[in-house]
A and B are shown apart, each in its own frame.
Chain A
Amino acid sequence: MSDVNDTEVQETPVVVKTTLSITVDGRAHEAEPGQLLIDACEDAGSYVPRFCYHPRMEPVGMCRQCLVEVEGPRGPMMVVSCMTPVAEGQVARTETPSVKRAQEGVLELLLANHPLDCPVCDKGGECPLQDQAFSHGPGESRFVEEKRHYEKPIPISDLVFLDRERCILCDRCTRFADEVAGDPLISFTQRGNNTQVNTFPDEPFASYFSGNTVQICPVGALTAKPYRFKARPWDLEQRESTCTTCSVGCRTVIQSSRDELLRYQGSDSDAVNWGWLCDKGRFNFENVNSEDRLEQPLMRDGSNLVPSTWSQASAAVAEALKTGTTAILGGARGTNEDAFAWARLADALGIQMRDPQLSDGLPTEVFGLPSASIEEAANATTIIVIAPDLKEELPVLYLRLRDAAEKRRSRILEFTAVSTGLTKYSWKSVPTEPGLQASTVRNTLGEATVREQLGKGNVVVVVGRASLAESADHTVAALSAVLAEVPGAKVLPVVRRGNVRGAVAAGLGSNTNATEILTAAAAGKLDTLVLLGADPIADFPDTDLARRAISAVRNVISLDTFLTESTARASVVLPASAYGEKEGTTTNLEGRVTSVAQKVTARGTSRADWMVAVDIARRLNVDLGFDSVESIQRAMIATTVFAPMADGGANTREGVLIDQPAMSLPTVSATAGTHSSYDLRLVVSRRMYDQGASTAHSPSLVGLAQRNVLRVNSADLARIGVASGTSVRATSSKASVSVTVEADDSVGRGVAHLTFNAPGINAGDLIDVNASVNDIKVETL
């Protein structure tokens, strides 16, 4: 028509619509394809009541509470919104008279058999059934008959109680156990009016994740022993924090009443824990409340430790740090701020020898490799696992990887000497032997099927120290072998203690590792050893070396929450504040910095580690340039590694990822010969519950640590001629102990397995930390 149109050619972009247009209660809404109507309605501002639906689990349509009306070809139709996917043009109504009638009807039926014991029920006040009975219920019941009666709470495990009268059979706990935890040890039993959740008779719901069922129970049917009758929900105060029991860094809500920690709940972080917690992380807050906590500084007087004051004790510590050779062990259990303050103090005092790990982890160079997040690992096409049993040590990471395999997003290729929790979910679990990992890895990655799998997409290597009875070199060599074969692979380093990565980033790592520090100490070359929440005698793989080192050092200075075997030999013991008692940030295994919150007053006169560092610096006339968490954080942000914290991202639920400077793995010579056929190669790993302080001082958990047994493949046991269950003598180059042996075919041939720091015999007695691998001879007594 006109010239203008000829010159200005308008390019109409091709619009690919990626959402579905629906109408909820008369309002237009764009929903995600594949989304469930219940979620779409909520996004559109219409909350639909529900009991059984949980966004992290498959819907089952069990409770029928989420009925809504959807326009169909023959008029409006009642549908279960948690089972109905959204569709283009869908018209849903959530508040019509018929929907209200349906909701009231369902609630009246659910309440027919539900006891009205809300005033004495732990859930009362935070109970979805109670809340929705008020918001969506009929107000009164026509049910006048006798309600169903069951024995009031029955223990279904050491931690969880079940009150079947209160259960509304929503299938959340049973689905969680099966779908999420992979421990289907509870099930619907009986039928009809007698349907009840239960375990097999006398076989408890012994899952590491049982506490989650209590949190997601929409009624008071499941209660957890540590919290039963401790508080009413309206008396609880809460803050969001991060669990630092292990290095996964699950987001939690810590709750207290009258200045006492009472409960931890999981908080749903997309990047990390999806709302789940392991039972250890959920319940070990009990140790913060323990009677045995250190409350005041102690100083050595002859053979005794006697109560002292902070001014005397700090002065003594300052005096000790002024002269002589000093080393610092630990710091991985504190906050980033604690580690940063101690690292700056060590810098100022010229203390070179520092290690936040106790030679039970990996060299810090792994943090400088291309780093994978948990999310990346759980979405990788192939996940290569060369690590300890994640179910035991990093339980929620296990849940994420298990989910990746179960939902068929990923294939797991595992290398291990002893079957792990992930073995049955692995695409391929390759048995290996300590010392031979690198060659096993090379051989396996050379196989045609494996090469094909690795070529299908991105690869993440989850790598950690599988055994404390072997040198870290073997793991490093295996990792190098993977990286040589798959150069694009990203690495998720599995470290054990909560804040290893933060401590290293803050500068608490050095070229001298714990073994070298303790060896120097044992040789009398160390004047002062500072233990920042570290207990080498219990935690260092080689107990003998740790004992000799602690005895030989003139000044052992311990900053800890409890008296331990190591602190008992200290010249000064300073009481440290525990989690929930101090502010700060922590860094998880992927380098995610999240907040740690103070909820209760620090016990006794205990102080946060950073305060101690600041106090000592002042006494030595050293200006660290900070004197509060805020000023430490300002100093941290000024460093390259913590700079991403600048925008306050650490205070969000998902936190902020930091990246350590790129490094390459050290070259190691990891060769360990095959052992003689009389010997078994020792594998020592950890289990979730051990004699560590957080379990030992938590009354609900202490009984869960299992006694140590030597586990050996039945074929090896037959070869040695020993019956399962008998006592044997196990002899290593270090010691000889008497231990019960058990046939266990989840242990590979030629290997013997012991648990570290378990009640009973101490595996650390058998380990020579300087040996490439440790072999033991097993003989009948």
Chain B
Amino acid sequence: MSRFNDSNVTLAKEIIGRFPRPKSAVIPLLHLAQEQDGYVTRDAMSHIAELVNVTTAEVYGTATFYEMFKFEPIGKYCVNVCTNIACQLVGGWELLEHAEEKLGIKAGSTTEDGLFTIEDVECIAACTEAPAIQVNYRYRYKVTAENLDQLIDDLRAGRLADEIPPHGTLARVRQRTTDTWANTGIEAQAKVDAR
């Protein structure tokens, strides 16, 4: 897919301006790329390399270090089921299996309609509320099979659209450094919301 669109180029330049060295903006720009396309495309990485004047290999090396950057298209909702020890003891595995059956896919894959991706994750630091899951990194605690079914149905029906934005969205309200850029940011946000 794609490089940054025009409004995101403007935003990217603003982000770069926040740092003493352009190179420091690589990770925020990777987030921006993931927000634009739902995942980090190769073209976006090339574009970031151009914008901050490093090589593509340097961007790639940085990007692939982080689990939360995705390099293949991913579902609109990324469901992370924790199977680390605390969750595992109170039914984490069973919850994962239930999610797999409910959505008809294995962990690590995406439903055909492109709505859901299931991931089997290690500890997400919610052991006191086990078993825990995340949908686009928004927590759900002490989840039962019934909760999970309800959650998936709600997401499908769009009933949680206010609470859980599409995968890649960092924040609904973006921090601004100057008013000059505010409008471009709103435009960018509008495009993300429209997706």
Given known A-B contacts A200-B45, A201-B42, A191 and B54 have beta carbons under 8 A apart: no
Chain B residues with CB below 8 A from A198, complex form: 57, 60
Q: What chain A residues lie within 8 Å of B54 (beta carbons)?
A: 184
Q: Are A189 and B61 in contact (CB under 8 A)?
A: yes
Does any Cβ of A come within 8 Å of B19's Cβ? no
Q: Verify if B58 is at the interface (C-beta below 8 Å from A).
A: yes
A186 in contact with B57 (CB, 8 Å): yes
Partner of A184 from B45, B46, B58, B66 at Cβ < 8 Å? B58
B-side contacts of A203, CB under 8 Å = 56-57
- Does residue B24 face the partner (Cβ distance < 8 Å to A)? no
Q: Does B5 contact A (CB under 8 A)?
A: no
In the docked arrangement, what's the CA distance between A185 and B64, Å?
15
- Supposing A200-B55, A200-B56, A203-B56 touch, asked if A187 and B42 sit within 8 A by C-beta, the answer is no
Interface residues of B in 6-46 (CB under 8 A from A): 42, 45-46
Once the chains bind, are B60 and A200 in contact (CB under 8 Å)? Answer: yes
A199-B42 Cα distance, complex, nearest whole Å: 12
> With A200-B45, A201-B42 known to touch, is A188 a contact of B56 (CB < 8 Å)?
no
Pairwise interchain contact B64-A184, C-beta atoms closer than 8 A: no
Q: In whole angstroms, what is the CA distance A25 to B42 when docked?
A: 53
The answer, among B46, B57, B64, B66, for a CB contact under 8 Å with A199, is B57
Q: Give Cα A191 to B67, complex, Å.
A: 9
Chain B, residues 111-152, CB within 8 Å of chain A (1/0): the string is: 000000000000000000000000000000000000000000
Distance between B112 CB and nearest chain A CB, rounded to angstroms: 26
Residues of B within 8 A of A185 (CB): 55-57
A190 at the interface (CB under 8 A from B): yes
User: In the complex the two chains form, is B55's CB within 8 Å of A190's CB?
Assistant: no
Give Cα A183–Cα B45 distance, bound, in whole angstroms: 17
Find chain A residues with CB under 8 A from B59 CB. 200
Find out whether the CB atom of A200 lies under 8 angstroms from the CB atom of B57.
yes
* Of the residues B45, B46, B55, B61, contact of A188 by C-beta under 8 Å: B61
Total residues of chain B contacting the partner, CB 8 A = 14
Indicate if the CB atoms of A184 and B55 lie closer than 8 Å.
Answer: yes
Query: In the bound complex, how far is the Cα of B60 from the Cα of A201, in angstroms?
Result: 9
**Alpha-carbon separation in the docked complex, A254 to B35 (Å):** 54
Q: How far is the CA of A81 from the CA of B164 in the complex (A)?
A: 51
- What is the bound-complex CA distance between A768 and B162, given in angstroms? 73
> In the complex, which residue of chain A has the Cβ closest to the Cβ of B67?
A191
Within the complex, what minimum Cβ distance (angstroms) separates B182 from chain A?
33
The residue among A187, A189, A199, A203 with the most chain B CB atoms within 10 A of its own CB is A187
- Residues of B close to A183: CB separation below 8 A: 55
Cβ of B33 to closest chain A Cβ, rounded Å: 14
Nearest B residue to A205 via CB reads B57
Q: Tell me the complex Cα distance, A187–B55, Å.
A: 10
Nearest-neighbor residue (CB-CB) of B59 within chain A: A200
Residues in chain B near residue A186, CB distance under 8 A = 57
Q: How far, in whole Å, are A199 and B60 apart by their CA atoms in the complex?
A: 8
B65 adjacent to A190 (CB under 8 Å)? yes
Asked if B58 contacts A189 (CB within 8 A), the reply is no
Q: A199 vs B54: C-alpha distance in the bound complex, in angstroms?
A: 13
B67 shortest CB reach to chain A, Å:
8
Query: Which B residues lie within 8 Å of A200 (CB)?
Result: 42, 45-46, 55-57, 59-60
Interfacial chain A residues near B61, Cβ < 8 Å: 187-189
A199 to B64, CA, bound (A): 12
Across the interface, do A189 and B64 meet the contact criterion of CB distance under 8 Å? yes
Q: Is the CB of A189 within 8 A of B55?
A: no
Bound complex: CA of A436 vs CA of B32, how far in Å? Answer: 47
Which residue of chain B has the shortest Cβ distance to A190 in the bound complex?
B64
Q: What residues of chain A lie closer than 8 Å to B65, measured between beta carbons?
A: 188-191
List the A side residues contacting B64 at CB < 8 Å: 189-191
Within 8 A of B (CB), among A63-116: none
Separation of A185 and B59 alpha carbons in the complex (Å): 10
Show 16 A/B contacts (Cβ-Cβ < 8 Å), sorted by A: A183-B55, A184-B57, A185-B55, A185-B56, A187-B61, A188-B65, A189-B64, A190-B64, A191-B64, A198-B57, A198-B60, A200-B42, A200-B55, A200-B57, A200-B59, A203-B56
Known pairs A187-B61, A189-B64, A200-B55; list 10 more (Cβ under 8 Å): A183-B55, A184-B58, A186-B57, A190-B65, A198-B60, A200-B42, A200-B45, A200-B46, A200-B57, A200-B59
Please list the residues of chain B having a beta carbon within 8 angstroms of any beta carbon in chain A.
42, 45-46, 54-61, 64-66
